[in-house]
Chain A
Amino acid sequence: MIWQTIWLVIILVSSGLLIVAIQAGNGSPGRVVITLWCLLVCPGMAYLQSLHIAQASARWILAIALSMSIDTLVSLALLYGGIWDYKQGVFIILAITWMGVTISFTRIWIASRHEVLTRPSEVSQ
C-alpha cells in the first residue's frame, strides 16, 4: 500500500508539473517528456493502482492502454464537439486522472482501515 500511495502522489505531482510546463510555454524536451508521461501513463495508472494485478509489466501496459484510450476519446470529443483546444483537453484528462487518484486513494484507505480492524482477530486466532 505504501507503493500504491507513492504512485498516487507521483501522479498528482506530475500533473502539477505538466500545468507548470504548459504555463512556461515552450517546446522544451522537459515539456515533451512530462507530456508523454502525463498523457500516456498517468490517467490509466491512477485507476489501476488499487486493483489487484499481480504482474508489474501487466500494470504498466494496461495503464498505457487505458491512458491512450481515454486521451483518444477526449480528443475525439473535442474535435467533433467543435471545441478543439489542447488546454481544455489537458484539463479534462487531468480531471479524469484526479478522479482515478481519488477512487484509488479511497479504496486503499478503506482497505488499510479494514486491515487494521481485522488484525486483532487474526492475532487471537
Chain B
Amino acid sequence: MTHSKLAVQQGVPSWTTLLGHMKRWGWSLAVLVVAVVIWSLSLRYVDLDAMNDIGLLSVLPITYFVALFALIASFCVLLCRNDAPDAVLALHILALIVMIQSTPPLLYGTLRYSWAWKHVGIVDYIMRHQSVNPAIRNLDAYHNWPGFFTLSALITEVAGLDSPLILAVWAGVFFDILFFGALLLVYRTLTDDRRLSWLGILIFFLTNWIGQDYYCPQAMAYFLYLVVVGVCLTWFRSSLTLQPSKVSQWPLVRHGLSLIEPLLDRARTGAVEIEKSDSFTRVVLMSLTILAAFAIVASHQLTPVMLIGAILFLSLARQINTRGLPAIVILLTLTWILFVATRFLGNNIQDIIDSAGQVSGNVSSNLIDVDTTSPGQSLVALIGRILTISIWLLAFLGGIRRLTTGSIDLAAIMLMVGPTLIPVGNAYGGEILFRVYLFTIPSIAFFAASFFYPSKHTQRGWLWLGALYIVCTLFLIGYFFANLGKDRQYRFTQDEIAGANYLIDFAPQNTLLITGSTNYPFQFRNYEYFVSVPITSEPKESRDAVVADPVGVLSRWLDNPSYTATYLILTRSQAIASDALGYLPPGELDRIEQALRASDRFIPVFQNHDVVIFVLNKQPSGEP
C-alpha cells in the first residue's frame, strides 16, 4: 500500500491532495497570510493613550480593518465556491479569532476587564487556603460553585506559576477556539449544507459581542454546554420515528401524533445522517456528557439550567434519545444546590423568590440608562442593541426562508426555547438578557446564515455574495463597538497594577478600602483582607454627600476603628468608568482627588501617573 493510499484511509490528506488544494485555493491562503501580516503590523501604530469614549475602535488604524475585511471577503468567496475545503475555511475562522481576541492582550500587555482580576483572586484564595469559604462576605457565589477556580488553581500550581494571570490574559483566544470546535460539532448535526454551517460559525463570532469569552466560569461552562449538546445531537440523535405504545393508541393521543408526524417528517429534511457508533463509543460519550454536566453544575449557577432546558426540549421534540440525561442533570443540579451551595441558597432565596415571574423587571434591569451615560457610551450601547435586533431579524427571515424550502429545524428551535424562558424565573444580577443572548446565539447565527443559504441546492451569484459581505462587515463593525467599546475602562495600565500591588503588599487583614468605583484591577491577591466600599455603588444620598463635602465625608468613612487599617484609592480607570457610565457628575472623581490632595487630613502614601492611595492623617496641622 502506498503512503498516499494509507493516508487517505486514515483520514489524512495525501501530498497530492494538498498540492491540488494549494493550486486551487492558494489565493485564499495568500489573502489570509497577507491579512495576518497587515494586522500584526497595524498593532505597532496604536496609541492607546489616545483612546476615546468609543473604546479600542477609536485608535485602531484603518489597515487593521482592511486586514479583517480582506479575511472576511476571502471567506465569503470561499463559501460561494461550494467545494472549498474545510481546512481552508477553518484557517480563516482561526485567523479571525486570533486577530480579534489577541488584539487586547498584545496591545495592553495586562489583563483586560476588572472581573477577570477578581477571578484571578479566587484562584489565589484557593491556592493559599487549599479550600473555599462558602460563607465569605465578598464574591460568595464563586466559593459555592468553585469548579472553574479549582481547575485553574490546579493548572496554575502544576505549571509552577505563582498566579494564573498569564493564563487569564490569553483566555479569550483559548475559549473562542474551543467554542469554534464545539460549534462545528453542533452545526454538523443541524444541516448537511457545509456552507450553512461555516457561515453560521462566522456569524456567531461576529455577533457574540457580550464578552463572556474571557477568564470566567461562564466561558468554560458554555464550552462544555456546547459539547454536551453536540454529543447528544451527533451520537444520540433520535431516529425521529414514533414508537408505538399503549398510550399512542388512545384516540386523543393518536390524533395528536398524526398531527405531529408530518412535522417530524419535515424536520428530517436537511438534518444530517446519524453518526453510526458501537456500544462502547456510546458508553464513553454518555460518560463524557455526564462528567461534563457535573463539571458545569459545580462551576456555574445558570448554565446547568440552560443545559437542562436544552436537553429537555430536544428530548421532548424527539431530536435526541437520551431520556435519562435530563433527569441526571436535574438530580446533579439539585444535589449541588441543596448540599453544597446551601449557604448561598439560604442567603439569596428571598431575592430568587422575589424575581420569579417578574419578566419585565428582570429584563429591564439589564439595560443601562443611556440618559446618564456619556455620548460615546450611549453610542456603544445603541450599536449593541442595533446589532442584537439586526441578528434576530435576520434569523427570523432566515427561519422563514428555511420553512419555505421545506425545512423545519426543530433541533435549532429547541435550543432557543429553553434560554428564552429563563427571564421568567430570574434577573441573574441584572445580566439575564445577555446570558439569554449568549445561549441562543448558536441557533440565531444558524438561522441568520440560512437567510443566505436556505437550502442545500441554493446557488449564489455575485449579487448575493456582495450582500453577504456587506452584512458580515457591518456585523464586524457592530462587534467592535459593542464588545470593545468599553475598553477605555477595561484597559488597565502598569501604573494601576503597581498601585494595587502596593495595597495588597502592605494592607493587613480586615482593611477598609474606599474606592472611586469598582472598575480597577484589584482583588487578585489576598482579596479576603479587604472590605471595599466603592463611592459609585453607594446610595444616591451618600454619593451626593461625598460630592458636596468630599474631605469631611470621606474622612469620617476612613476614621472607622472597627478596621485594622483604612485606605482610599483613586485610579485612572475608576474615573473613566464613573464618567462614562454617569455614576457621578463628569470629572467628579478628579475633583475629589484634588480636594483630598489639598486637605491636610489626607496623606497620599502611594502615587504615580494613574493611581493615588490616601490614608487618613489622624493629627492634621492646626489640631492639638
Binds A, one of B220-228, B305-313, B506-514, B577-585: B220-228
A-B residue pairs in contact (CB < 8 Å), sample of 10: A2-B10, A27-B160, A32-B160, A32-B166, A36-B155, A52-B277, A55-B188, A61-B182, A61-B185, A82-B131
Write the nearest CB–CB distance from B184 to chain A, whole angstroms: 5
Number of interface residues of A (CB under 8 A): 52
With a cutoff of 8 Å between Cβ atoms, the chain B residues found around residue A76 in the complex are 146-147, 150, 298
Write the nearest CB–CB distance from A70 to chain B, whole angstroms: 7
Residue A53 at the chain B interface, CB threshold 8 Å: yes
Residue A97 at the chain B interface, CB threshold 8 Å: no
Partner of B181, one of A18, A48, A61: A61
Residue of A whose beta carbon sits closest to that of B234: A58
Binding site for A on B (CB under 8 A): 10-12, 90, 126, 130-132, 146-148, 150-151, 153-155, 157-162, 166, 178, 181-182, 184-185, 188, 220, 223-224, 227, 230-231, 234, 275-278, 280-281, 284-285, 288, 291-292, 294-295, 298-299, 340
A22 to B185, CA, bound (A): 35
Q: What's the A-B contact tally at a CB cutoff of 8 Å?
A: 142
With a cutoff of 8 Å between Cβ atoms, the chain A residues found around residue B160 in the complex are 21-22, 25-28, 31-32, 35
Residue A90 at the chain B interface, CB threshold 8 Å: yes
With a cutoff of 8 Å between Cβ atoms, the chain A residues found around residue B146 in the complex are 76, 79
Write the nearest CB–CB distance from B563 to chain A, whole angstroms: 30
Q: Is the CB of B154 within 8 A of A54?
A: no
Write the nearest CB–CB distance from B159 to chain A, whole angstroms: 4
Q: Is the CB of B159 within 8 A of A64?
A: no
With a cutoff of 8 Å between Cβ atoms, the chain A residues found around residue B281 in the complex are 51-53
Q: Is the CB of B159 within 8 A of A31?
A: yes
Q: Is the CB of B131 within 8 A of A73?
A: no
- Given contacts A76-B150, A107-B280, whether A86 and B224 have CB atoms under 8 Å apart is no
A65 to B155, CA, bound (A): 15
Q: Could you list 15 further interchain pairs (A-B, Cβ under 8 angstroms) beyond the known A58-B181, A65-B182, A72-B147?
A: A2-B10, A3-B10, A55-B184, A57-B90, A58-B185, A58-B230, A61-B182, A65-B288, A66-B292, A72-B150, A73-B291, A76-B298, A79-B146, A82-B130, A89-B158
Write the nearest CB–CB distance from B344 to chain A, whole angstroms: 15
A108 to B579, CA, bound (A): 64
Q: Is the CB of B295 within 8 A of A79?
A: no
With a cutoff of 8 Å between Cβ atoms, the chain A residues found around residue B292 in the complex are 65-66, 68-69
Write the nearest CB–CB distance from B372 to chain A, whole angstroms: 41
Write the nearest CB–CB distance from B140 to chain A, whole angstroms: 16
Residue A12 at the chain B interface, CB threshold 8 Å: no
Shortest Cβ-Cβ A-B pairs, 3 listed: A84-B130, A27-B160, A61-B181
Binding site for B on A (CB under 8 A): 2-3, 18, 21-22, 25-28, 31-32, 35-36, 39-40, 44, 47-48, 50-58, 60-62, 64-66, 68-76, 78-80, 82, 84-86, 89-90, 107
Write the nearest CB–CB distance from B60 to chain A, whole angstroms: 29
Partner of B157, one of A70, A80, A86: A86
Write the nearest CB–CB distance from B200 to chain A, whole angstroms: 15
- Given contacts A48-B284, A52-B277, A57-B181, whether A70 and B158 have CB atoms under 8 Å apart is no
Q: Is the CB of A66 within 8 A of B154?
A: no
- Given contacts A28-B160, A66-B288, whether A60 and B181 have CB atoms under 8 Å apart is yes
With a cutoff of 8 Å between Cβ atoms, the chain B residues found around residue A36 in the complex are 155, 159
Q: Is the CB of A35 within 8 A of B295?
A: no
Q: Is the CB of A68 within 8 A of B158?
A: no
Residue of A whose beta carbon sits closest to that of B130: A84
With a cutoff of 8 Å between Cβ atoms, the chain B residues found around residue A69 in the complex are 224, 288, 291-292, 294-295
